[in-house]
Amino acid sequence: MTATPTVPALLAPPLRSSLDPRSPEFAENREEMLKRLEEIESLLDEAEQGGGAHHHERLAKRGKLPVRERIALALDPDSPFLEISSLAAYNSSYTIGGGAVLGIGVIAGVECVIFANDPTVLGGALTPYVSKKWMRALEIARDNHMPYVSFVESAGADLRMRGASRKKDQDEPSSPVSTRIEHFAESGRFFYEMIELSKLEIPTVCVVFGSSTAGGAYQPGLSDYNVVIKQQSKIFLAGPPLVKMATGEDSDDESLGGAQMHADVSGLGEYLAEDEPDALRLCREIVSHLNWRKPGPAPSLRADPPALDPEELLGIIDPELRRPVEIRDVIGRIVDGSRFEEFKPRYGPTMVCGFGSIHGYPVGILGNNGVIYPESAEKAAHFVQLCNQIDMPLLFFQNLTGFIVGKDFEEAGIIKKGSQLINAVTNSTVPHMTVIVGASYGAGTYAMSGRAFNNRFTFIWPSAKIAVMGGKQIAGVMSIVRRGQAARKGEPFDEEADAQIRAAVEEAQEQGSVALEASGAISDDGILDPRDTRTALGICLSVVRNKPIEGAKGYGVFRL
């Protein structure tokens, strides 16, 4: 008999933990984290309801499935679905979720991006949040070179759009007309992006579940494969009322743009389904014939669970971010076997860099143990370049208040060395994934590969805050400016009024920087339960291997 070869593990010792799960601080952190997770779970339930139970009942009478049931029937049994931006539109005038579901799942053994209109929300109309999620769906498909599957049921553009969409912005002046024009102009980009996918040999598969009108009609029009459903799919540039107004012609939905007409006459529908389950069966058949191959590489290291308990991630982060966090305690509860080979551990210690693996996929990891000092930035830039040399994806754990400031640090070259790090991150071409576990303030956000730096995926923990700077710092800076203005004018400074302004500014800034606000605005890909971080990252590390990984071997000019 031939012995089964053993999968090698990273030759690095497991991290030791400094965390005390019996401490009062841990218990306090854990309790607050569980409260926040309970709130998020309640919001997710609300998002699943879409436009409300009465809309679901109305659609069920027509033989229509809820949007998440459609997705579940398309996916391989017992396979995961990583939903993206599930809490879009939180704290806005729109329904939580935004009116669409976006995620990554496995269909017929193939990892696919799935974008689905929710017909219970304004008939699947393209609200600003649907548009942002749609663009993100196309971006994920393009950047990771993976098939794009759309479940279309859209009434077209949201014609009742207001200028402001966030509740906190409702009192800001804006023009509904100019907003609609801007939204209309930007919508054309979706057409370009869908066509580009096909040009890049990325398959696009569309299942039309209901009415697809105006801009919604171009989703099947620009797809490679279309599935339409008898007596249910309706695809036309203009529905019967608009046709009547434009041409005087009398028509009905079915003869104008019904499924059978498009399958038999226009040729827009390649496959005619009897009902929704049949349409989803056909969708799976189409994906199965794509002959899709991932260039890989496959997981190469042993994918044993962390030696440190991931449950303890609940008590690591102080919810108010007042106490420092040992980022190795986070890393050790996510990487395989808690094994981590640290790079330059004695130099620039506020930046932790090293090699690990997640679900067998090798990854270079950077994490913050405080602000970024000049030597920390220098070390991180070096590490990013090394990972590019060996084509290794990068994972960033953000918890920082920015770059260190002050006279001594300016003389030590914090701008120059900080710019070296930002240069290295910008020029890096291996996939980047970022998890914001705590604070993410100032230019440090960019240095640690913030969303603006073409990350493949960015997630946030419930404890996280993201802003230009902390609320107290912003309020304090503004107070100093007011004090200076009063002094220059020779006027007395009202300390009591200033204290009130500082308190109001601090509270507003803190509220605006919390994870739910950030995720509601779709500035990230979603809030993670810390215990699910390893699973989400494992899916992402698999997804990025749909495209060959090639690190940058050349860089822009470093100010050495």
Q: What one-character-per-residue DSSP string does 113-133 give?
A: EEEEE-TTTGGG-B-HHHHHH
Helix (H) or strand (E) holding 149: strand 148-154
Pairing of strands 100-107, 110-117: antiparallel
Decide if 518 contacts 298 (C-beta within 8 A). Answer: no
Burial class (CB in 10 A: 0-12, 13-18, 19+), 92: buried
Lowest mean pLDDT among 60-64, 339-343, 542-546: 60-64
Beta-carbon-side half-sphere exposure of residue 419 (alpha carbons within 13 Å): 9
Q: For the chain, give me the number of helices (H) and strands (E)?
A: 19, 15
Decide if 401 contacts 442 (C-beta within 8 A). Answer: yes
The CA distances from residue 331 to 123, 164, 341, 355, 532, in Å, are 44, 40, 11, 11, 13
| pLDDT, position 156 | 67
Residue predicted with more confidence, 97 or 471: 97
Q: Is 472 left (phi over 0), alpha (psi -120 to 50) or beta?
A: alpha
Its pTM stands at 0.89
Decide if 545 contacts 295 (C-beta within 8 A). Answer: yes
DSSP characters for 85-109? STTTTTTBSS-TTTTEEEEEEEETT
Q: What is the pLDDT of residues 259-278, one digit of tens each?
A: 999 999 999 999 999 999 99
Q: What is the pLDDT of residues 381-434, one digit of tens each?
A: 999 999 999 999 999 999 998 888 888 888 888 999 999 999 999 999 999 999
Work out the number of other CB atoms within 10 angstroms of the CB of residue 428: 23
Over residues 359-374, the mean pLDDT reads: 96
Q: Which of 15-19, 49-53, 429-433, 506-510 has the highest mean pLDDT?
A: 429-433
Over residues 441-453, the mean pLDDT reads: 89
Beta-carbon-side half-sphere exposure of residue 21 (alpha carbons within 13 Å): 9
DSSP characters for 231-247? TT-EEESS-HHHHHHHH
Helix (H) or strand (E) holding 261: helix 259-261
R_g of the chain computed on alpha carbons: 26
Q: What is the pLDDT of residues 167-192, one digit of tens each?
A: 544 433 344 444 444 554 555 688 88
The residues, any chain, with a CB within 8 Å of residue 344's CB and separated by 6 or more, are: 353, 379, 382, 383
Pairwise CA distance, residues 116 & 280, whole Å: 13
Decide if 135 contacts 190 (C-beta within 8 A). Answer: yes
